[in-house]
Amino acid sequence: MNRVFVLFAVILSSTCSALHAQSFDIHREVEKANKQTFPSAAHQIEENTDVKVILEVDADSFGDNAHAWSNLYIIANRIVGALSDVGRDQVGKDALERDVKKVLIIRVASTEEASIELKKGTVYIRTSASDKAMTVLQNILTTELEKALHTGHPPKE
C-alpha cells in the first residue's frame, strides 16, 4: 500500500473584509487553528487513513463570529473522527483516496441543519459551528460521506 501524506491547510482569503476588522479573539483562534489544531489533525488523519486531504475554511462565512471560530478545534476533531471511521479498512481508504481531495468548512445560519456534500473531490461541510451542532456533526459526516462515496462509485462485481 502506498503511503500518501496528509496536507492540512487553512486558506483564509486576503480579500475577506471580516478578517481585517476582526477582534483579538478571532485572531487568536485563527492563529491556534494554523499552528496547533490543524497540524495535529493532519497527523491523526495521516496515521489513520493514509490519505492526502486539504482542509479549507470559508472565512467569509465565519465572519466575525468568535464562538464559531473557537469551534474549529471541535470541527477538526469531528473531521478526523469521520475520516477515520470511513477509512478504517482498505475499502474505505481506497474510496477516500479516490474521491476526497479537499474538505471545505462553511458556516451556515444557526437555523440550518448541518449537511455534507461530496462534489468533484471536495467534501462541503455546512455547519452552524455552534455548540449544539458539534454534538451531531461527526455522525452526520460519517454517515453522509459513506453514502456519497458508495453512491458515486458502486462496488465492482
pLDDT at residue 105 is higher than 70: yes
Q: What is the mean pLDDT of the chain?
A: 80
129: region left, alpha or beta (phi > 0 left; psi from -120 to 50 alpha): left
- % of the chain at pLDDT higher than 90: 31
Is the pLDDT higher at 2 or at 48? 48
Q: What is the pLDDT of residues 63-99, one digit of tens each?
A: 888 889 889 989 999 999 999 999 999 999 999 999 9
The angle subtended at Cα 138 by Cα 135 and Cα 139, nearest 5°, is 95
